[in-house]
Amino acid sequence: MSLKLLALSSFVLLANAHLAAFHKAMYCFNGTVPGQVNYNNDAPVSPLWMLKTSDWWFHHFNQCDEFPPAEGDFLELPAGGSFTVEVAGNRGVTSLSFNGQFTTEWGDGLNHPEDYSDSNCITSPNMHTQNQSMAAGTAFAISYESDLSQVTMDNLAVFTVRYNTPWKRVTSYDVPQDMPACPAGGCTCAWVWIPNGCGEPNIYMQGFKCMVTGATSTTPIATPKPPVWCEEDQSTCTQGAKQILVWNQAEGNNIVVNGTDQSGLPKSPAYNSKCGFKDGAQNDIFGTSSSSALSSSSSPSSVPAQAIATPSAAGAAAPVNPPSTTSTSTVYSTTTLQATGAASSPASSPAYGMTPSNSTNYPFNAAPHNSSYTITTSTLYTTSTFYASSPTFSATPSNSANNLHLVASPSSSGAASQTTAGTCSGRKRMHKRSHRFFSM
């Protein structure tokens, strides 16, 4: 039987296949059998559902993460530009197999109308949607770690999103202009998405070796925080760098939803505005040179919510008219303050600094008191009191348990309070999994 006839006889099997982003720089590009090239490879398309973290993380459950791309193969990410991958149910229907002879505009190798839709669910390609407008959105995340074993949720940040995908096979994503260069060994990237219903409410995650090209900025990406459901009120969305969405797994979930969305359908976390992601390059993900960032190789630990501000070695500081209503805040007139303290152990994250108000680069916003000053960076320790200039301030930790993001705001008591992340709950649907294309 000829290759083409054999391929055509297998299209019916592809109808139930799920989807992955194919590129030569992907993990398990050739399959998961050592020494063999599988031109019909569908290993990375399997959905992830109720798995342990060690299994869903970079598609480990079928050893996809154990087969890195060839040496020197990178998914190139041009700063300020765009890059392209092929979203399909099988490598055999991409340009990366059989000289592309089985490719069409769609990820199943078949032809479909431009306004392709199904009132129930489109199942070929298995895009888990009724039409393009309802496609949930896909994304790429990046870690500035070359070694996959060093990538964690705390150094893997979403940097680009494409609304209304997956849809057609050839899909492009935008890269932020300020993306810094990767280390010599490259960065690690992940393609991720969560279907909007139409079957089992699972997630998808697969790995790539990637490299930022044409970088002109050295500003690192900030440590990402978990997204939250915020469709009803965009002001409640997680701001800045965000983690990938992990949902309906046995371990490691960072978002839960319940109830229905504004369209009346059960809530499903997604890489779109419902969880605070904008379409295209995520330009709000960058930190500062003194903030905890993805370029750091150390794993963030829990960091203190408070620190004592004391006079620096640069000069003595004398209290200036301290408010009579507080015993926990002191105003200094010196020009330089330094965060210090006596604690059991320092945080593993890099030091944090503070600047006067109107600065968007630091998690502190302290207003000056009758003088101009700066507060220099220093290792922070767990202590019991935080001093800032002007009236008493309360130090409030943000939603991230792993990073120091304190917000100083006026308070009458000086007490510190902790904010909490929003939570939600999900739904379960069953869906068959079959991903074979060619029987070679």
Residue 51 has pLDDT above 70, yes or no: yes
Reply yes or no on whether the pLDDT at 244 is more than 50.
yes
C-beta atoms surrounding 104 within 10 Å: 14
**SS3 track for 359-384:** CCCCCCCECCCCCCCEEEEECCECCC
Q: Does the N-terminal peptide bond of residue 166 adopt cis geometry, omega within 30 degrees of 0? A: yes
State what percent of residues in the chain have pLDDT above 70: 62
Given a cut of 80, is residue 358 above it in pLDDT?
A: no
Question: How far, in Å, CA of 204 to CA of 198, rounded?
Answer: 15
Residue 277 and residue 194: Cα distance in Å, rounded?
A: 13
Q: What are the sequence ranges of the domains in the chain?
A: 1-297+419-440, 306-318+329-338+365-417
Q: What percent of the chain has pLDDT over 90?
A: 60
* CB-count exposure of residue 374 (10 Å: 0-12, 13-18, 19+): middle
Q: What's the rounded mean pLDDT across residues 184-203?
A: 95
Q: What is the pLDDT of residue 289?
A: 56
**Average pLDDT estimate for 22-31:** 98
Mean pLDDT confidence for 6-27: 70
The whole-angstrom separation of Cα 200 and Cα 429 is 4
Question: Quick one: CA dihedral 329, 334, 338, 340, positive or negative?
Answer: negative
Residue 199: its pLDDT value, please? 85
Residues 6+ apart with CB under 8 A from 430: 199, 200
Share the mean pLDDT of the chain.
Answer: 74
Helix (H) / strand (E) element for 8: namely helix 3-9
The C-alpha atoms of residue 355 and residue 27 are separated, in whole angstroms, by 43
pLDDT in tens, 142-176: 999 999 999 999 999 999 999 999 999 999 999 99
Residue 7 pLDDT more than 70? Answer: no
Query: 359 pLDDT exceeds 70?
Result: no
**Residue-wise DSSP of 84-118:** EEEEES-GGGSTTSGGGTT--SBTTSS---TT---
Which of 109-118, 317-326, 338-347, 429-438 tops mean pLDDT? 109-118
Q: Which amino acid is at 261?
A: D
Which pLDDT score, from 0 to 100, does residue 293 have?
52
pLDDT of residue 325: 33
Vertex 381: Cα angle to 376 and 383 (nearest 5): 110
Measure the CA–CA gap between 331 and 322, rounded to whole angstroms. Answer: 6
Q: What is the pLDDT of residue 332?
A: 33
Task: With cut-offs at 50, 70 and 90, classify the pLDDT of residue 436.
Answer: very low
Pairing of strands 187-193, 138-143: antiparallel
The pLDDT of residue 16: 54
pLDDT band at 249 (very low <50, low <70, confident <90, very high): very high
pLDDT bucket at 391, cuts 50 / 70 / 90: very low
Alpha-carbon distances, residue 351 vs 183, 295, 338, 339 (angstroms): 22, 14, 11, 10
pLDDT grade for 288, boundaries at 50, 70 and 90: confident
Q: Look at the alpha carbons of 287, 243, 263, 420 in this order and tell me if their dihedral is positive or negative.
A: negative
Instruction: State which amino acid sits at residue 310.
Output: T
The span from the CA of 342 to the CA of 96, in Å, is 59
Quote the distance between the C-alpha of residue 208 and its chain's center.
Answer: 14
Q: Which fold has domain 1-297+419-440?
A: Coagulation Factor XIII; Chain A, domain 1 (2.70.50)
Strands, E, within 104-228: which ranges? 138-143, 157-162, 170-174, 187-193, 204-213
Q: How are strands ordered across the β-sheet holding 308-311?
A: 308-311, 336-340, 374-378, 352-354
In angstroms, the CA 142 to CA 149 distance is 14
Q: Are 309 and 339 in contact (CB under 8 A)?
A: yes
pLDDT at 418: 36
Distance CA 134, CA 179 (A): 30
The tokens for 239 are: 């701001």
Tokens at 337, concatenated: 């303050």
Q: What pLDDT sits at residue 311? A: 33
pLDDT at 226: 98
Average pLDDT on 369-385 reads 34
Residue 1's pLDDT band, with cuts at 50, 70 and 90, is: very low
Q: What is the mean pLDDT of residues 54-66?
A: 98
What pTM was estimated for this model as a whole? Answer: 0.68
- The pLDDT assigned to 253 comes to 98
Residue 173 CB neighbour total at 10 angstroms: 21
Q: Which residue has the higher pLDDT, 13 or 379?
A: 13
Mean pLDDT of all residues in 264-284 = 97
Measured between alpha carbons, how far is 125 from 105 in angstroms, rounded to an integer?
Answer: 11
Higher-confidence residue: 435 or 231? Answer: 231
- The model's pLDDT over 400-422, given as tens digits with 9 standing for 90+, comes to 333 333 333 333 333 333 333 33
pLDDT confidence tier of residue 59, bands split at 50, 70 and 90: very high
Position 193 scores a pLDDT of: 97
